[in-house]
Structure 1
Amino acid sequence: MPTNSRESKVPVALSQGRILQRMLRLNSVSVSVILVIILGTYLISPDVQSYLNQRREIVEMEQSIQLAKDAVVDMQAERDRWQDPVYIRSQARDRLYYVLPGEVSYLVMDSEGLDFSDTSNTLGAMLAQQRNADEISLEVSAAKANWVDSLMETLLRSAMETPVEE
């Protein structure tokens, strides 16, 4: 039975659940793309990690090279200073108390740096007590710069004193 009536299709609104299901439907192409991405990430991650480690090591080496270059520059400057006769004389004056003929050297002792409370009955304490027994005067006098006595005192103290255990 033929019908002459035309049938028209009317669009029906899909429910929210159906829309979500249609969007999440996985086909073989999307699954294969996801697998390729995961596999590529897995394969490339060790290379990226080794690259980052190498970059870190390179930065550390560059820093150590820069420190070494700075040390070389400092040593060259020190060597150049020691080539200067004026610097050598000043170092001899400071370190060895060197005095040119006709000059007078004054040595200022720091009285606040002395330890007056040493009662250990050692040779060093006895020598310090003998030195401290003299009154402090405001008059300038010539110092007895006898390095032999100082050396002997140091040798005696190191040989006879025993360390104090605390």
Structure 2
Amino acid sequence: MARRQRTQKVPVALPQMESAPEHWLRNIRLSGFTFMMLGLVILAVVVLAPSLRLVIEQQQQLAELSSAVKDKEESVTQLTEDAARWSDPAYIEAQARARMVYVFPGDLTYLVKNDGEVAAAADGVPISTEIQTTQVDWLQTMVSSVFTAGLTDASAADLETPQVPVP
């Protein structure tokens, strides 16, 4: 009869549970081909990086210039519309009336200054809204002003305006 071999019982340790990254790193095998490909990738990045930077800068400049061209085109369109408006006689008349206060002969115009403010005299008394007649002879005042200016030896700073009494 054949003899049976005895097996010896050896305690076996259970493998420790590895995390996925540890397992992945443990199974990496580095070879010459791997180092050569890694070197080629690094060389490509070093060679292409300046060119890529230049391309990106040129794209930014192109975007800025195209937006500037768009702004200038809008400006040209606005100026063309303005020039077309100025060829209309009614527009020219309206601008002359509004900007330079031009009127046609026979027109009655009113120029309102400080609209909404209450006018006051120098002494703080409000100015009357009623029309009043003055008690000053303007013709005599004008003639005396002309004679005074022509015949005096005093300087302009020494001359004063005559004070008109307020009734």
Q: CA RMSD in A?
A: 3.6
The structure carrying a bigger helix percent of its residues is 1
The code of the aligned residue for 1:97 comes to: V
C-alpha distance after superposition, 1:93-130 (max 9, x if no partner): 011111112221111222556998xxxxxxxxxxx959
Give distance in 2, aligned partners of 1:96 and 1:28: 88
**Cα deviations by residue, 1:17-52 (Å, 9 ceiling, x for unpaired):** 9x6675233110111111111111111111111000
Question: Aligned partners of 1:115, 1:46: CA distance in 2, in Å?
Answer: 72
Structure 2: gaps (5+ residues): 1-14, 132-156, 158-167
- Give the aligned partner of residue 38 of structure 1: 42
When normalised by structure 2's length, the TM-score is 0.57
- Matched with 2:61 is 57
Identify the residue that residue 129 of structure 2 maps to in structure 1.
137
Matched positions, count: 116
Given that 2:119 and 2:126 are in contact with CA atoms closer than 8 Å, whether structure 1 keeps it comes out as: no
Listed as ranges, the gaps of 5+ residues in structure 1 are: 1-14, 117-127, 140-159, 161-166
What is the aligned partner in structure 2 of residue 68 from structure 1? 72
Amino acid in the other structure paired with 1:88:
I
Q: Decide which moves more: 106-115 or 72-81.
A: 106-115
Matched, 1:79 2:83: yes
Q: Matched residues, percent identical?
A: 25
Q: 1:113 to 1:48 in 2, by over 3 A?
A: farther
* Map of 1:124 onto structure 2: none
4+ long deviations beyond 3 Å: 19-22, 111-116
